[in-house]
Structure 1
């Protein structure tokens, strides 16, 4: 297996670690430390407030920092191979737009919205899951018109970019192209969007960015409900892409989702 751990764009690929070696990963605000010993693996992590726009880095170090408490995984003969596999979150991610977005009747637009991923820390050959770690700590939020109607989600914020050229490379977040059709007769004001990430596949592109299947939302004046469907990345977007994970759930045909929370008429 080639040693690719010095290539920041391939941090999610299988790697090797020698006995008594230790490695540090920084992905956005998350720092992960892995140490292999002859009969155990050690794993620790912490979150920082450093610039989350920095490129991911992988550094060989001598030991896991002493201020951290390491999880120990005892194995009679520890395997050398491991992998940090990005996964989409296990619940929808509700993203609040930093600036309100208004869409007139019979208009459509595509927004590029990113959401943080989690990591499955795996030993490989044979496969063994050590721990799932969220790259970014998100708060819980209830998304719906009342405490009886809705669902528990994660909360995040978004710039809701409408041009791919405006996207910055943040390998700890997955970009979802969201096409919104306003088929109603009223102005559509989007204050929040619920991104149904459990229904989406996750891909890695050669530049190190993570993308999901696109989502199309069609608003037809049914208050906060919208028809949604998933698609596949376009040929240009999918060029050189590697499928990292299939959708966790499959949506029902003609699904209605509670996609918006601030819809009103001007």
Structure 2
């Protein structure tokens, strides 16, 4: 069994990866306010975790803990049964399992004929994978977002997550955070009126996830929003290539759902 060495609060983004478990070995972490432990038994994987009632999205530090660290109460337990467990375990980040609605503190306007890019970040999920299993054993938010409704009225719309706005037109002003992924959204306003961005429904479950060691960030594919007429909905496209500003990236996770490259309207109102 490997010897544990206490580690300080980690300044780096990358907290995930492949872990090697001997029988009855445990790994423990603190991801923000979420305490999490994975234990390998001969015929089962066990997880133990504590999530406080109130979590703060600004708490973005993480730490590897002593395997036997005492967690705060209450502690949740889950068991996953196998004929025989394998020593390899993958702890991975994923995008949220439904759309995330962001709302800028102040409305954003894009004048007629202008092109603009908004960099936003959205919260990540924590997933566990083992050899020979394509589906995750568990899939939980690191920091659980609040629920919100997005739509024209209470009958037509969809249940989404709401998150604190962390967006900027300047990537350098967006702080790298371990539990959030950056999505560039490009706007093309070819109408004769300026666009007004108030609530944006970002379909993160349709976005693949990448990691850039060069920028020390997690990234998704780019989204492009084309507005040609005030009488028609926007044309919204998910780019297949990775964002050029991310530099060299490595693939982390596929999109949860296949949008075919095109998605439905992201806005309640635009003009």
TM-score normalised per structure 1: 0.84
The superposition leaves residues 29-56 of structure 1 with CA deviations (integer Å, 9 ceiling, x where unpaired) of: 4332122234432212233547845443
Q: Determine helix, strand or coil for the equivalent of 1:198.
A: helix
Match status 1:20 vs 2:24? yes
Alignment of 1:234-249 (within 5 A): 234-239=243-248, 241-249=249-257
Match of 1:229 among 219, 228, 237: 237
Alignment of 1:90-239 (within 5 A): 90-124=97-131, 129-206=136-213, 208-222=216-230, 225-231=233-239, 232-239=241-248
Alpha-carbon distance in structure 2 between the residues aligned to 1:235 and 1:243? 14
The unaligned stretches of length 5 or more in structure 2 are: none
> More strand by proportion, 1 or 2?
1
Q: Determine helix, strand or coil for the equivalent of 1:142.
A: strand
Q: Determine helix, strand or coil for the equivalent of 1:251.
A: coil
Alpha-carbon distance in structure 1 between the residues aligned to 2:14 and 2:151? 38
- The alpha carbon displacement at 1:87 in A equals 1.4
Alpha-carbon distance in structure 2 between the residues aligned to 1:246 and 1:51? 24
In the superposition, relative to structure 1, how do residues 40 and 247 fare at CA in structure 2: closer, same or farther (>3 Å)? closer
Q: CA RMSD in A?
A: 3.0
The superposition leaves residues 108-158 of structure 1 with CA deviations (integer Å, 9 ceiling, x where unpaired) of: 211111111212212236667321111221232221212343322222231
Name the count of aligned residue pairs: 260
Q: Determine helix, strand or coil for the equivalent of 1:165.
A: helix
Match of 2:92 in 1: 85
- The alpha carbon displacement at 1:251 in A equals 3.2
Tell me if structure 2 keeps the 8 A contact 1:33–1:44.
yes
Tell me if structure 2 keeps the 8 A contact 1:99–1:159.
no
In the superposition, relative to structure 1, how do residues 252 and 203 fare at CA in structure 2: closer, same or farther (>3 Å)? closer
Match of 1:43 in 2: 47
